Amino acid sequence: MTIELGLMLTGMLVVGFLSQWLAWRVKLPAILFLLLAGIVLGPVTGLLQPDKMLGELLFPLVSLAVAVILFEGSLTLRFHELRGIGGAVRGLVSYGAVVALLLLALCVHWIAGVRWEIAWLFGALTCVTGPTVIAPMLRTLRPTERIANTLRWEGIIIDPLGALFAVLIFEAIVSRQEGHTIGVFVVTVLCGALIGTLAALLLGFLLRRQLVPEYLQNYATLAMVLFAFSLSNTLTHESGLLAVTIMGIALGNMRNVHMDDILDFKENLTTLLVSGLFILLAARLPWPLPHGMLWAGIVVFLVAQFAIRPFTAMLATMGSGLTWRERALIAWVAPRGIVAASVSALFALRLGELGLEGAEALVPLVFILIIGTVVLQSATARPLAIWLKVAEPEPRGVLVFGSDAVARAVGQALKEEDVRVMLADDDWDGIRRARMEGLPTFYGNPASPHAERHLDLTGLGRLLAMSTHRERNTLACVHYRQEFGREKVYRLRNLSPDENTERVALADNLLAPPLFDEQMTHARFAELLARGWRIKSTTLSSTFDWPNFIEQYGSDSVLLFGVEEKGTLRVASAKRELEPRPGWTVIVLVPPAGK
């Protein structure tokens, strides 16, 4: 039995990784592949039987996993950021969400015939979109900046708020089901809120005073989250989820508490938990579904997609300043995600234990809505955005970090070949000169929080870190790996290869591929420009190919970029040499004429 259990758990990890990897490759939300994998392993083939495999451990394990997921999600709600969001986002996460909850509850009650308790819970869970499903969809959708910001902030803010609201409704249902009075419900809510707040204050105090060493901070946070969850559940039944949600919101809004490393750890842990949890929960789905539930779920999905979301989105964005085209795309995109799937499964388990009639219908209805919205919107959102003329161009442009003579020369050469360029730097003198030369600029560090809110990355797909500051180049490269991908980030060396000894070298995992040839550094590039070298662009042909170009301009010429016939930009790197072909436009640093 031990070997079988170990093998099944290991197999779930492997399948979870493959699902996450496939989602990354095709740029779709991972939840889709995780749920489909669980359905195949469970109801379809019968290879995975969670109840038989885990027995009495199933509910505690699911509860603890959901507690960590809710805590991680609630950490991202920052109250100070609510002041900077637009009217459209405020409408979507306030009265728009309430209207969506009411309409979804009415819809599922009338169509699926579930009890009002289940209907209200369904509405609270499915009026929520989340950043884990919105982010990969936006990478594929690539809408205009205003649409992307609206959808992204809606997911970030409503994710923890929706979880909090769903937990409160769940507490009310449990209290009523167990015959408790309103007073017991209020005590349950107050106990969960108090324990969550106290746990956040204690952990914040320890972190702020540095009483916990850095290498133990993630451990301490995880232990405190699970302790608060368990303690709250012990003192007042079913208040643990509320406690960890309040704890995350309180901790995320504390001053002088650095949460970046903890957030990274929680995101990685959540990825692991979500991968295993969703496979496990999808494998528990009964097949065939309860009578009429499949068709009822499909009808609920269609009504939610084609009626409820358009109505609530149009209502919430009225008077926001968005065009009707932008509002139409926002009304179409609302995929459901992690909170809806994980919390619904946990609630269904608990309500089933309490004997609430119809509790078994909650998970199939939620899962059908999740799969339906993710599949349909992923397939249709990009064509719809193009048809509505609210899609940004292909990300072929270049973000250049730097504004000195080298960066300006490279930016100008790329701009002349119709490559979108943006120079970003906090050197005002360099930015001023770039503006005078007609180059698009951003004044500020491109890796700063200010840049995250104000730097327009529309159409940009690569980073060239070319400033004179080696460490800041590295920081920018690490920052933009997540945005553009590791293979789309480059740096111009600030030290020559023979100076790059172990004493001054940075760790390999921090370094992006070096630009241009093996000997090129920022100082050498600037020196060559000062000596009269220039950047020249030439379109190659069958009669004047790359060898002919080298023969005419000299073997010392340095190939910088190549632009294919279709407009695709190729970057020359010391780790990946380009082989220019006829039809390409080459951008080359060439010596002065006659040299």
Exposure letters 424-442 (e unless 16+ CB within 10 A, then b): bbbbeebbebbeeeebbbb
Exposure letters 373-383 (e unless 16+ CB within 10 A, then b): bbebbbeebbe
**pLDDT in the model for residue 452:** 67
Q: Which one, of 433, 447, 444, lies nearest residue 404 by Cα?
A: 433
Residue 25 has pLDDT above 80, yes or no: no
Q: What are phi and psi of 49, to 5 degrees?
A: -125, 90
Residue 393 DSSP code: P
| Mean of pLDDT values over 272-298 | 79
Q: Report yes or no on 529 lying in a domain.
A: yes
Residues 246 and 343 occupy one common structural domain: yes
| Mean of pLDDT values over 150-168 | 74
Residues 246 and 310 occupy one common structural domain: yes
Q: Which residue has the tokens 């205009």?
A: 144
Q: If phi over 0 gives left and psi between -120 and 50 gives alpha, with beta otherwise, what is residue 256?
A: left
Residues 408 and 368 occupy one common structural domain: no
Q: Which of 343, 370, 388 is the last residue of a domain?
A: 388
Residues 178 and 301 occupy one common structural domain: yes
Residue 304 contacts residue 126 (beta carbons within 8 Å)? yes
Q: Which of 334, 364, 388 is the last residue of a domain?
A: 388
Residues 37 and 125 occupy one common structural domain: yes
Q: Report yes or no on 302 lying in a domain.
A: yes
Neighbours of 468 (CB within 10 A): 18
At 190, which amino acid appears? L
Encoding tokens for residue 401?
């970090």
Q: Report yes or no on 50 lying in a domain.
A: no
Q: Which long-range contacts (CB under 8 A, 24 or more apart) does 260-263 make?
A: 261/214, 261/217, 261/218, 262/75, 262/217, 262/218, 262/221, 263/72, 263/75, 263/76
Structural domain count, the chain: 2
Alpha-helical regions (H) of 94-181: 95-112, 116-126, 131-141, 145-177
Q: Report yes or no on 49 lying in a domain.
A: no
Residue 262 contacts residue 19 (beta carbons within 8 Å)? no
Residue 241 has pLDDT above 70, yes or no: yes
Give the CA distances from residue 480 to residues 147, 174, 399, in Å, rounded to whole numbers and listed in that order. Answer: 21, 46, 10
Residue 352 contacts residue 284 (beta carbons within 8 Å)? no
Residues 37 and 94 occupy one common structural domain: yes
Q: Report yes or no on 595 lying in a domain.
A: no
Q: What is the CATH number of the domain that holds 571?
A: 3.40.50.720
Give the CA distances from residue 327 to residues 251, 309, 317, 390, in Å, rounded to whole numbers and listed in that order. Answer: 34, 11, 7, 10
Residues 306 and 186 occupy one common structural domain: yes
Q: Report yes or no on 29 lying in a domain.
A: yes
Encoding tokens for residue 77?
């709600």
Q: Tell me the CB-side half-sphere exposure of residue 184, using CA atoms within 13 A.
A: 15
**pLDDT in the model for residue 81:** 55
pLDDT tens by residue, 582-593: 888 888 888 887
User: For residue 521, what are the domain limits?
Assistant: 397-590
Residue 308 has pLDDT above 90, yes or no: yes
- Of 5-19, 327-341, 399-413, 494-508, which gets the smallest average pLDDT? 494-508
pLDDT tens by residue, 526-543: 888 888 888 888 888 888
Band (227; pLDDT cuts 50, 70, 90): very high
| Mean of pLDDT values over 350-367 | 79
| Mean of pLDDT values over 353-378 | 82
**pLDDT in the model for residue 3:** 47
Residue 101 contacts residue 308 (beta carbons within 8 Å)? no
CA separation for the pair 378, 394 (Å, rounded): 17
- Kindly tell me the number of DSSP H helices and DSSP E strands found in the chain: 25, 9
Q: Report yes or no on 93 lying in a domain.
A: yes
Q: Vertex 551, ends 546 and 553: CA angle to 5°?
A: 90
CA separation for the pair 281, 42 (Å, rounded): 9
